[in-house]
Amino acid sequence: MPLVGLVALFVLLPIAELYLIYQVGDSIGILPTLLLLAADSVLGSVLLRTQGRTVWRRFNEAMASGRMPHREVQDGVAVIFGAAFLITPGFITDVVGLALLLPPTRALLLRMVRRRLADRVAARVAQSGAGDRPPRPPDPDVEGTASEQRPTPPPRLGQ
């Protein structure tokens, strides 16, 4: 399955992007299409700046309060990917990038990803039969001794 996903990502997606750009250019003209693609790249950089600051502030607040910033890190990764998709020319990647940059859709997408990953982890644990294995034997003890040594003072100059 990973090979199929990579083929789709690196072969089919660019072909679909070019086809859609061609269709939009055919409908509204080449100059408006290029301006639209340039405008969404600028929009991506502006959204990256604003959303990136918000995520960074929430990350720092979580660290200052002493809790692990799990969701903030996930939001940060989503914002980076969203901005990269928006800056990349093409309309399909723009829709995905916008969905990752806007907080309501980002939360929805991250919830779906977390649920899917949790299901995959649960399936792997169930498949491995982790409860059927005998317990691991304890690590063997290693005997040894230790002694404290005082450091020797450095030699004095002129002696």
Residue-wise pLDDT for 24-69, tens only, equals 999 999 999 999 999 988 888 888 889 889 989 999 999 999 988 8
Higher pLDDT, 84 or 138: 84
**Is residue 91 a contact partner of residue 24, using CB atoms and an 8 Å limit?**
yes
pLDDT over 90 at 18, yes or no: yes
Q: Both tokens of residue 26?
A: 């055919």
Question: Within 10 Å of residue 2's Cβ, how many Cβ atoms?
Answer: 6
pLDDT at residue 15 in the model: 94
Dihedrals φ, ψ of 7, to 5°?
Answer: -60, -45
Separation CA 111–CA 97 (nearest Å): 17
Global pTM value: 0.70
